[in-house]
Each structure stands twice: as structure tokens, then as C-alpha cells.
Amino acid sequence: EARWPLLGLWLDNLDHGEILRQLADWAQQAGQRRIAFVNPHCANLATHHARYRSILNRADLLLPDGSGVLLAGRLLGTPMKANSNGTDLFPVLCRHWQQQGARLYLLGGQEGVADAVAARLLLEYPGIHVAGCRDGYFKDVDTPHVVTEIRKAAPDVLLVAMGAPLQDLWLAEHADALGVPLVIGVGGLFDFYSG
Ligand code: UDP
């Protein structure tokens, strides 16, 4: 499998079909997997933030988000196979989860945003289940409660839209306690998808 170096990050160079095959393989296995995305803002943050960089590099899939990263790939002579941004990849993932009848939990965004995303998903992808939603502006003292709530909801997939690097640090810290098979940091996706 081709991993492509960009500013100390090791990106997976996969097309959408290959990403779906990876998800299908994981579904046959026990354990938790984490997907992270890198846009130019994340890549820049990661050069200054060693812990964030290491969390990204330990993701089970680290995917290029947006044309900036694709352009860097072309300029540096290693074109990426696919754009994995919200517009291109998210509908592909949603169709996959629809077919699987997957249960999703949506965490992040301002109050009401995750609920709006959930409503749209339920309309556009009947078959997807929403196990729960919650905004991304809870206090630190409420974190154990949020983690317990997600754990009890027992989703197949947890989408966390709290921005970089917060969402990735949060997911790395609470991964074990969450007990969710697939966790994904999705940045500003909820704002985009609820609007
Ligand atoms: N956000 C959140 N909690 C926070 C800070 C941010 O839920 O404490 C949300 C914010 O509402 C927005 C997203 O995280 O929906 C960040 O989007 P942005 O596009 O800034 O993130 P990036 O794609 O750069 O990671």
C-alpha cells in the first residue's frame, strides 16, 4: 500500500473503491479503526505540533482533503489518486453505510448543526441509522458524560466535527473509552452538509 510523505505526514494514496474495500475488510475484524483527513491547514499545524502529527500518522487511514493537498502531490511528482474531501468522498461513504444499515453518531458543530446533518442523512440515505447527535461545544468537565453517552448509544461509526487539531486529539485520548469500531475526524463537514 502506497503511503505518500507530505511535510512529515504519511498519506494513504487510495481511490474511493480502495477506501471502501478497506472499510469492508475492517468490518470483518475486531478492534477500532480511525480515519483522519489532512488539508493544508492541518499539514501546517502538524509541522508545529508533534503530538498532533504523531496522532495523524497513527491513523489507520490518513487521507488528503481538498485540492491544496492534491496540488502539492502533483507538484512534488506523486499525484494522489483521489480527492477525499467532503464533497467527493462523503456521499460514497454514506451510500456504503446505507447498504450496511450502519448506525452513526454525529458529534460536533454549533448547537443544532449535527441534528440538521442527521435529518439530511436520514432523508438522502434511508437505511442509515442515527444513534445520536450532539454539538461540539461541551465543557471539559462534561467530557466523561459525552463519552459515556456515545458508548451507550453503541454506534458503528462516530463522526467528530470539532476542527483540527481538537477533534483528532480528542479522539486519540478517548478512543478506548468510546468503544466504537470506526471513528472519523471530519473537520468542518457538518457546517458544509447542514447548510
Ligand atoms: N467546533 C466544535 N467545537 C469546538 C470548536 C469547533 O464543534 O470547540 C466545530 C465548528 O463548529 C466547526 C468545526 O468544528 O463545525 C471546525 O470546522 P473548520 O472548518 O474550522 O475545521 P477544519 O476543517 O479546519 O479542521
Residue with CA nearest ligand 1 atom 15: 109
ipTM of predicted complex: 0.95
What average pLDDT does the structure give for the chain? 94
Report the pLDDT averaged over residues 150-166. Answer: 97
pLDDT above 80: residue 15: yes
pLDDT recorded at residue 3 = 79
CATH number at residue 190: 3.40.50.10700
Percent of the chain with pLDDT over 70: 99
CB 110 near ligand 1, within 6 Å:
yes
CB 115 near ligand 1, within 6 Å:
no
The 129-134 sheet, strands edge to edge? 61-64, 33-38, 182-185, 157-161, 103-108, 129-134
Report the pLDDT averaged over residues 133-143. Answer: 98
Amino acid letter, residue 54: S
Q: Structurally, how many domains does the chain consist of?
A: 1
Residue 128 or residue 66, greater confidence:
128
Instruction: For residue range 92-115, list pLDDT tens digits in order.
Output: 999 999 999 999 999 999 999 999
Instruction: For residue range 33-76, list pLDDT tens digits in order.
Output: 999 999 999 999 999 999 999 999 999 999 999 888 888 888 87
CB 185 near ligand 1, within 6 Å:
no
DSSP strand pairing (9-12 vs 157-161): unpaired
Range of the domain at 164: 3-194
For residue 72, what are the CA distances in angstroms to 3, 14, 49, 164, 188?
15, 16, 21, 20, 21
pLDDT recorded at residue 1 = 52
pLDDT above 70: residue 121: yes
Q: How confident is the model at residue 81 (pLDDT cuts 50, 70, 90)?
A: confident
Measured in angstroms, how far is the CA atom of residue 163 from the centroid of ligand 1?
A: 4
Instruction: Give the predicted TM-score (pTM) of the model.
Output: 0.96
CB 66 near ligand 1, within 6 Å:
no
